[in-house]
Amino acid sequence: MAIAEDTVKTGPLRESIGMPRLHKVIFLVLLGLALLLPYGVYPVFAMKVMCFALFAYAFNLLLGFGGLLSFGHAAYFGGASYVAAHAAKVWGLTPELSILAGTVAAALLGLVIGALSIRRQGIYFAMVTLAFAQMVYFFALQVPFTGGEDGIQSVPRGDLFGLISLRSNMALYYFVLAITFGGILLIYRIVHSPFGQVLKAIRENEPRAISLGYQVNRYKLIVFTLSAALAGLAGATKSQVFQLASLTDVHWAMSGEVVLMTLLGGMGTVFGPIVGAAVIVTMQNYLATFGAWVTVIQGAIFVISVLLFREGIVGVISKWLKRPL
């Protein structure tokens, strides 16, 4: 370990281990586009895309790099959105503190559920996470502070750090952009850190990682908690954007949606979840009037992706360009 780190700091390897130039260029282009986006499309829609992009990105950290399929990520997304909405509305906290409160709550929830769930692998892991998320859903349905079927409505947007008003959509947009971009770069950094390399080793061959002396369960728990916290960050931010926390965000359908976004964009790719989230949210937006057909179409995308298109959109492009994206 020590030797490898020294080489990284001083040797010629450093360039190849840092962010590849292609990724840098794409991130800069995305940032440039995102800065101009609210002049082209409705800012609330753009913010919705960004919240889901961060959500899917956090989910991909767990699935794409940790190899763990959680079918209950709505619990952290929606749970955090309730806590953040409650903090802003009832406790009167500023937006950044409300979002922080939601994120911390999601991290704690992820820590507890993760510690139990990683005791089973594969298919059982997926079922356990789904069942726990359903428990969170019932909890949200019954406890008084979530407002049951109504949810927490008209959450005030407030002033950032108590100074900058976020009541206009434009101001809020750049705040959300900063959170999303910061979150995504953080996850990128985690994936490309030594910790991320161990995660990939566990994903590829768990018994071997154990035999090499890694505390596999500790790594899994850490990545689960991180993923839950960042999914929570996305959900908490969404509650500030829509000024609403509702049962939709904790429902199992939401857990399915984030799986779909990641699968469609490309599991384990760098840009896949962003693309997947953008496609799915845009589709929902345009098909909103078709009611239950949206569910049918989402199901069809699932089936097609699994049968014919397992690399996802970005995975296919990446294979085409012969570069990891």
Partner 1 sequence: MFELLGVPPQVLMGQLLLGLINGSFYAVLSLGLAVIFGLLNIINFAHGAQYMMGAFAAWMLLTYVGVGYWPALIVAPLVVGAIGIVLERLMLARLYHLDHLYGLLLTFGLALIIQGLFRNYYGISGLPYQIPASLSGGYNLGFMFLPTYRGWVVVASVIVCFATWFIIEKTKLGAYLRAATENPVLVGAFGINVPRMITLTYGFGVALAGFAGVLAAPIYSVNPNMGADLIIVVFAVVVIGGMGSIMGAILTGYGLGLVEGLTRVFYPEGSAVVIFVIMAIVLLFRPEGLFGRAG
CA distance 186 to 183: 5
Name which of residues 52 to 81 contact partner 1 (CB under 8 A). Answer: 69, 71
Query: 110 Cβ partners below 8 Å, 6+ apart?
Result: 76, 224, 225, 227, 228, 229, 231, 232
Q: Is 3 near partner 1 (CB under 8 A)? A: no
- Out of 35, 300, 321, 323, the only residue in the binding site for partner 1 (CB under 8 A) is 300
Cα angle value 183/162/232 (rounded, 5°): 30
Lay out the site mask for partner 1 across 138-167 (x = CB under 8 A, - = otherwise): xx-xx-------------------------
Q: Is 288 near partner 1 (CB under 8 A)? A: no
- Out of 45, 181, 188, 252, the only residue in the binding site for partner 1 (CB under 8 A) is 252
CA distance 115 to 108: 11
- Of the pair 131, 216, the CB lying nearest partner 1 is at 131
What value does the CA radius of gyration of the chain take, rounded to a whole number of Å?
19
Please, what sign has the CA dihedral across residues 34, 83, 226, 220? negative
- Of the pair 169, 217, the CB lying nearest partner 1 is at 217
Quote the least distance from Cβ 252 to partner 1, whole Å: 6
- Out of 88, 172, 187, 263, the only residue in the binding site for partner 1 (CB under 8 A) is 263
CA distance 275 to 282: 11
Whether residue 157 contacts residue 28, with contact meaning beta carbons closer than 8 Å, is answered with: no
Concatenate the DSSP letters of all residues of 33-47 into one string. Answer: HHHHHHHHS-HHHHH
Q: Is 116 near partner 1 (CB under 8 A)? A: yes
Lay out the site mask for partner 1 across 190-229 (x = CB under 8 A, - = otherwise): ----------------------------------------
Tokens of 204: 């590829």
Q: Which residues bind partner 1 (CB under 8 A)?
A: 69, 71, 116-117, 119-120, 122-124, 126-128, 130-132, 134-135, 138-139, 141-142, 252, 256, 259, 263, 291-296, 298-303, 305-307, 310
